[in-house]
Amino acid sequence: MPDLLDFLSAHGISCQRVDHPPVFTMDEVERLVPPLDGAATKNLFLRDKKGTRQALVVVAASKPVDLRALAASTGFERPSFGSADRLKRCLGLEPGSVSLLALVNDPGHAVEVFIDRDLWAAGAIHCHPLVNTSTLSVRHEDVERFLAATGHAHRLVDVPAISVGGG
C-alpha cells in the first residue's frame, strides 16, 4: 500500500492537518478534533444485499442518513454496513478510520464512490489520513485531484436524510 502523505505530495495535493486523540464517533470528533477549515464528514462503508458490491458514501457529519432510502440513490439493493474484515480487505483500514482518502488502497477500484451533492459544494472537507488520530482538511479542487490520481470515478447523489420528528 502506498504511503498516503507521500501519495498526496507526489500528486500536488495539499491539506491542513491536525493531530488528536483517537476518535470513533461523531460526538468524539466534535469534542476532540481541533477546528479546521471545511466540512466535517461521515464516511459510510457499505455493501449490497448479495455482498458483491462495496461503496463508500461520503456525507456531511451532521446528516442522519436513511440507509433504506439510499438504495434508490446508489442502486444498491438493501445496503448495509460492511464488516471489519471486508473493510480491511477492500480499503486496508480498521473501523473508525474510514475516509475518502482510503481509496489510495483500492487500486482495483472494488469500491464505488458516492458523494452527497450538498457536501460536494463545500470548499473543503475533512478526511482521516487512514488513521483516526489525525484529520486533514482537503480543498475541493484537491479532492478532485485525489480522485483523478487514484482513478476512482465518483457519483454525486442526493443522500436521503432520516426525517426527524416525522409528521
Mean pLDDT, residues 34-38 = 92
Higher-confidence residue: 73 or 127? Answer: 127
Number of domains the chain contains: 1
Tell me, yes or no, whether 91 lies in a domain: yes
Mean pLDDT, residues 55-75 = 92
Question: Do the bridges between strand 124-127 and strand 111-116 make them parallel or antiparallel, or are there none, so unpaired?
Answer: unpaired
CATH number of 68's domain: 3.90.960.10
pLDDT at 78 exceeding the cut of 70: yes
Tell me, yes or no, whether 167 lies in a domain: no
**Over the chain, what is the mean pLDDT?**
92
Task: Please provide the distance, in angstroms rounded to a whole number, between the alpha carbons at the two ends of the chain.
Answer: 49
Question: Do the bridges between strand 80-81 and strand 54-60 make them parallel or antiparallel, or are there none, so unpaired?
Answer: unpaired
Mean pLDDT, residues 113-119 = 96
Quick: pLDDT tens for 12-29: 999 999 999 999 888 888
pLDDT at 45 exceeding the cut of 50: yes
pLDDT at 142 exceeding the cut of 80: yes
Rounded CA gap, 57 and 65, in Å? 10
pLDDT score, position 25: 83
Domain of 143 in residue numbering reads as: 4-157
Rounded CA gap, 163 and 103, in Å? 31
pTM over 0.75: yes
